[in-house]
Amino acid sequence: MWEYKLLHMSKRIISTPNAPKAIAIYNQAVEANGFLFVSGQIPIDPATGKFVEGGIREQTEQVIRNVLAIIEAAGYTKEHIVKCTCILSTMDDFAGMNEVYGKHFNQDAPARAAFAAAKLPMGALIEIEAIATKN
């Protein structure tokens, strides 16, 4: 016989002007029970509200800056990131993305998945989501 218990969940919404505002119905991040879930970020410069100029390297750099701005606003550091998911518009951009990603996450890198999707929001070349924890 299975026993089912409801656990109390604490939830905190994270929002910072240092990352792009949500473009649909979601939050930049949600912290729950010791984990921080960062929504997928695309290469929008929060200062201008527009995509950064350039290709996959420039877009990846901006996306990582956006992710880290949200992580920091929640009181975490990049060392707290345990998992990233990198979604590309084409796997032909993997090497360029991986080069930039490796500059930010070189030692004790988080677990990661990378794959291509048919189409990303607003025509982005890359989107990255992250999970962090202080546990």
Q: How far apart are CA 124 and CA 109, in angstroms?
A: 24
* Residue 25 clears pLDDT 60, i.e. is over it: yes
What is the residue extent of each domain of the chain?
11-22+30-133
Instruction: Give domain 11-22+30-133's CATH architecture.
Output: 2-Layer Sandwich (3.30)
* Residue 3 clears pLDDT 70, i.e. is over it: no
Long-range contacts formed by 59-64: CB under 8 A, 24+ apart: 59/124, 59/125, 59/126, 60/96, 60/97, 60/100, 60/101, 60/126, 60/128, 61/100, 63/126, 63/127, 63/128, 64/100, 64/101, 64/104, 64/128
pLDDT in tens, 40-92: 999 999 999 999 999 999 999 999 999 999 999 999 999 999 999 999 999 99
% of the chain surpassing 90 pLDDT = 87
Helix (H, G, I), strand (E, B) or coil at 60: helix
- Determine the pLDDT at residue 73: 98
- Determine the pLDDT at residue 10: 84
- Determine the pLDDT at residue 23: 85
CA separation (Å) from 76 to 37, 80, 135? 12, 6, 11
Please state which of the ranges 2-16, 30-44, 68-82 shows the lowest mean pLDDT.
2-16
pTM of the predicted model as reported, rounded to 2 decimal places = 0.92
